[in-house]
C-alpha cells in the first residue's frame, strides 16, 4: 500500500464540526492533489481538539465520522491516503511526554501561534496546561510519522520551527538520527471569506457553506451573500473588491477568463447580483453535487472500516518510531 | 495473586542510583510492613526521573535493576507487592495528556512542592515543561492504579491535593465515578542524616550508607561518622544532639532502652566514640547482612522476570482504568 520512496506528509484537522468550503480551498483540495505523489497521513486530531474543548468532548467525538465522510466526499482516497484518529495512537502521548522534557516553559510562552490563540480564546479560569503544551504534542504528531512535509498556513510556521528544535535537541542529547526534521509546505490559497463578508468562513460565525449542505442550503446561502451594498440597480457600476460572490467565483469557477470578464462588466454596470449569484450557484451545485454523490455511495460500516484500517496502518509507523525513540533513550529494558 | 478486598497503595522511587539507609528508614521499611495488609504497587519512576535527568538517561536506566534488587534485599516480596517500571506502562502518558487539560498553568505554578524543587534545582536554560507538569503525571500514576493510599512525607501533601482536584474535575466534567480520590499515608519517620551530619543522607552529597555496601564500606562509613567535635577525651561529657552515631542508633538499634542508657552515659562522660561506633557497626552489619543474604540469592534472570511479571500485572490494572477513562470522554470509537 505504502510506497516507501514517496515523501511523507502529515496533515489533518481538529474535528470540531463538519468541514466547509473554506477547508476545501485551504487544504482539502491540496490533499487530493498531493495524495498520489506523496505518502499522506491525515490525522483527525481529536486529542488536540480536546485541549480547548475538554468540557464538551461530545462536540469532538461526534465530529470524527462527519469529518471522515467530508474527506471521502472531496476525493481523498482511503486506499492511498492514511486517514486515522489521533486518540487511537497512544504512542503519540508517550512521545509527547518525552518531548516535554526538551522544551522550556519560556520557549512555549514565546510561541507566537499559541500566544495569538490564547488571546483569541480568552480562557476563563486560566490557560489549561494541555493547551499550552499542544505545540509539543504537535511535534510528536509530525515526527512519529517521520513526516518531511507539513502543509501549513503562514501562521503555523512557528510550530514547524518548534518541532525542528525538538528534533535537533533529541537527536543531539540521545545521540541518534532517528528523528527527522520537517519542512512547512506553505499553502498559497487565500482564506475564504464568510458569506456575510466577514473575515473567514467559520462554524462559530455561522457563515460557511458546508461540504455536506443540501442543494437548497447551498442555493439559499449563495443568494444571501454579501455583495456591494451600493449596487442598487443593475445598471449601477458595482464594486468587486469585498464582494463575496466574486471571491467565491475566483475560488471555485473553473474559467478564470470568464470571471475576469464578469468583473469588468460588473464594475462598468449592467450586470445584476442575481445573474452572478445564479452563476455561482451553478458552480457550487456542481462541485458540492460531486461531493454528495461520493458521500452517498459510502455506508457507515465502510466508514468505520476505513478508520480502523487507517488507524492500524498509522499505528504501525508510530510504533516503529517509538521503538527507535525508546532505544535511543535506553528504555527498552526487556528487549 | 491480588486480593481485591485489600486497599490499594501506590508508592515508588525515582531510579537515580542505588538506595541507601535513608530510603530504608523513610519508606522501604514501611513498604515491607504494609505489603501483606494492602495491595501494594511499587513504581520504578523512570519517566519521572527523566524530567530532571533527561540529558543523562543512562543514570536512570542503569539504576532500574539496582533499585529492584534493593527492594528485594530489604524483604519486599515480588509475589505480594507489584513492582513495575513506569515507562513500560504507556497508558500513564495517555492519562497524563488527558489530565493536562484539567489543570491550569497558574495552579501548577502555585504547587509548593514543585516551587521548592525548581528553586533547589536551579535549571540552567529554564524550567523544562516536563518537570513543570510532573504533578499531573503523578496524578496519572496514582489514579490509574486506583490507589486509595499514597505514602508520602509532609512535603508531598500538595501533590495529593492536586491529584484529588484532577479526580474531582474529571469525574464532574465527564459525569463518571471511574476515578478515585486518594489519601496521603503520612510517614512519621524522621529523615536520616548523612554520615557527615549534614541535613540528609543523599547520593549527591556522598554521605550515605547504601543497602548494597560491603561490610568493609559499612565499617569505614560508621567510623567516619560525625559525632561531637568537643568530645576529645573518653572522660569528657559529650553531646547527643546532632551526633550522627546516636541518630543512627535511634533509627536502627532494636533496644531503645539500651540506646537511652548509652545516651545518658555519653552525656555524663566516660563513654568513648569508638565504643558507640562499634555498637552501631554491629547493628548495621546485622541489618545489611540480612539484605546481602537476600540479594545474593537472586540472579539477574530472576530479577528481569520479576520486573516483566510485575509490569504485566500493573499494566492490566492501568488498561482497565484507561478503558473507563476513554469511555467517559467518549474516545472508544471502535468498540
Residue A97 lies in a domain: yes
**pLDDT tens digit string along A61-102?**
999 999 999 999 999 999 999 999 999 999 999 999 999 999
Distance CA B59, CA A113 (A): 36
For residues B186 and B117, state if they share a domain: yes
Q: What is the pLDDT of residue A1?
A: 47
Q: What is the pLDDT of residue A4?
A: 64
Question: B270: domain CATH number?
Answer: 1.10.240.10
For residues A171 and A272, state if they share a domain: no
> At which residue does the C-alpha cell 452517498 appear?
A296
Distance CA A217, CA A288 (A): 11
Distance CA A95, CA A209 (A): 37
Residue A206 lies in a domain: no
Q: Which pTM value belongs to this model?
A: 0.94
8 A C-beta contact, residue B186 and residue B233 = no
Residues 6+ apart with CB under 8 A from A109: A115
Min distance B191 CA to chain A CA atoms (Å): 30
Give A104's contacts in chain B (Cβ within 8 Å): 123, 125-129
Give A331's contacts in chain B (Cβ within 8 Å): 46, 57, 61, 87-88
Distance CA B135, CA B85 (A): 18
Residue B209 lies in a domain: no
8 A C-beta contact, residue B9 and residue B34 = yes
For residues A184 and A229, state if they share a domain: no
Backbone angles phi, psi at A289, to 5 degrees: -65, -40
Is A129 close to B136, i.e. CB distance below 8 A?
yes
Q: Which residue, among A35, A46, A37, A20, has the nearest Cα to A76 in the 3D structure?
A: A35
Min distance B53 CA to chain A CA atoms (Å): 9
Is B61 close to A330, i.e. CB distance below 8 A?
yes
In this structure, what DSSP letter does residue A88 have? G
Percent of the residues in chain B that have a pLDDT greater than 90, as a whole number: 84
The range of the structural domain enclosing residue A285 comes to: 215-294
Is B132 close to A51, i.e. CB distance below 8 A?
no
Residue A200 lies in a domain: no
Residues in chain B, how many? 335
Residue-wise burial string across A39-64, b where 16 or more C-beta atoms lie within 10 A, e elsewhere: bbbbbbbbbbbbbbbbeebeebbebb
8 A C-beta contact, residue A162 and residue A137 = no
Residues β-bridged to residue A83: A42
Evaluate if residue B43 carries a pLDDT over 90: yes
For residues A183 and A234, state if they share a domain: no
Q: What is the pLDDT of residue A115?
A: 86
Residues in chain A, how many? 335
**pLDDT tens digit string along A310-333?**
999 999 999 999 999 999 999 999
- By CB atoms closer than 10 A (0-12, 13-18, 19+), residue B141 is buried
Residue A317 lies in a domain: yes
For residues B273 and B248, state if they share a domain: yes
Evaluate if residue B145 carries a pLDDT over 90: yes
For residues A28 and A145, state if they share a domain: yes
Q: Quote the cell numbers at residue B123.
A: 535549571
For residues A116 and A27, state if they share a domain: yes
Domain count for chain B, please give it: 2
Q: What is the pLDDT of residue A202?
A: 78
Residue B197 lies in a domain: no
For residues A283 and A311, state if they share a domain: no
Distance CA B39, CA B37 (A): 7
Question: B53: domain CATH number?
Answer: 3.40.50.620
Q: What is the pLDDT of residue B199?
A: 75
Distance CA A103, CA A92 (A): 16
Residue A3 lies in a domain: no
For residues B248 and B166, state if they share a domain: no
For residues B165 and B29, state if they share a domain: yes
Residue A199 lies in a domain: no
For residues B290 and B314, state if they share a domain: no
Percent of the residues in chain A that have a pLDDT greater than 90, as a whole number: 84
**pLDDT tens digit string along A195-246?**
999 877 777 788 999 999 999 999 999 999 999 999 889 999 999 999 999 9
For residues A144 and A178, state if they share a domain: yes
Q: What is the pLDDT of residue A212?
A: 97
**pLDDT tens digit string along B69-78?**
999 999 999 9
Give B323's contacts in chain A (Cβ within 8 Å): none
Amino acid at each position: 500500500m505504502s510506497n516507501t520512496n514517496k515523501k511523507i506528509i502529515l496533515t489533518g484537522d481538529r474535528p470540531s464540526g463538519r468541514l466547509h468550503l473554506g477547508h476545501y480551498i485551504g487544504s482539502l483540495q491540496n490533499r487530493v492533489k498531493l495524495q498520489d505523489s506523496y505518502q499522506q497521513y491525515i490525522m483527525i486530531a481529536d486529542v488536540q481538539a480536546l485541549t480547548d474543548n475538554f468540557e464538551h468532548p461530545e462536540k469532538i467525538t461526534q465530529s470524527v465520522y462527519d469529518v471522515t465522510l467530508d474527506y471521502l466526499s472531496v476525493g481523498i482516497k482511503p486506499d492511498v491516503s492514511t486517514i486515522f484518529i489521533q486518540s487511537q495512537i497512544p504512542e503519540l502521548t508517550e512521545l509527547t511526554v518525552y518531548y516535554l522534557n526538551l522544551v522550556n516553559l519560556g520557549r512555549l510562552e514565546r510561541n507566537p501561534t499559541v500566544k495569538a490563540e490564547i488571546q483569541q480564546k480568552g480562557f476563563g479560569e486560566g490557560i489549561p496546561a494541555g493547551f499550552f503544551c499542544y505545540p509539543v504534542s504537535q511535534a510528536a504528531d509530525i515526527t512519529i510519522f517521520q513526516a518531511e512535509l507539513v502543509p501549513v498556513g503562514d501562521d503555523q510556521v512557528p510550530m514547524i520551527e518548534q518541532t525542528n528544535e525538538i528534533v535537533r535537541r533529541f537527536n543531539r542529547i540521545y545521540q541518534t538520527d532517528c528523528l527527522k526534521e520537517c519542512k512547512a509546505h506553505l499553502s498559497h490559497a487565500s482564506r475564504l471569506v464568510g458569506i456575510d463578508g466577514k473575515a473567514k468562513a467559520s462554524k462559530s460565525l455561522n457563515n460557511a457553506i458546508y461540504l455536506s449542505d443540501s442543494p437548497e442550503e447551498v442555493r439559499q446561502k449563495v443568494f444571501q451573500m454579501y455583495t456591494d451594498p451600493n449596487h442598487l440597480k443593475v445598471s449601477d457600476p458595482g464594486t468587486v473588491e469585498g464582494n463575496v460572490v466574486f471571491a467565491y467565483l475566483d475560488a471555485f469557477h473553473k474559467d478564470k477568463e470568464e470571471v475576469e470578464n464578469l468583473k469588468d462588466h460588473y464594475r462598468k454596470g449592467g450586470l445584476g447580483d442575481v445573474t452572478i449569484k445564479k452563476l455561482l450557484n451553478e458552480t457550487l451545485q456542481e462541485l458540492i453535487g460531486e461531493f454528495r454523490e461520493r458521500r452517498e455511495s459510502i455506508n457507515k460500516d465502510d466508514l468505520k472500516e476505513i478508520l480502523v484500517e487507517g488507524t492500524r496502518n498509522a499505528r504501525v509507523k508510530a510504533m516503529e518510531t517509538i521503538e527507535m525513540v525508546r532505544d535511543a533513550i535506553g528504555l527498552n529494558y526487556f528487549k
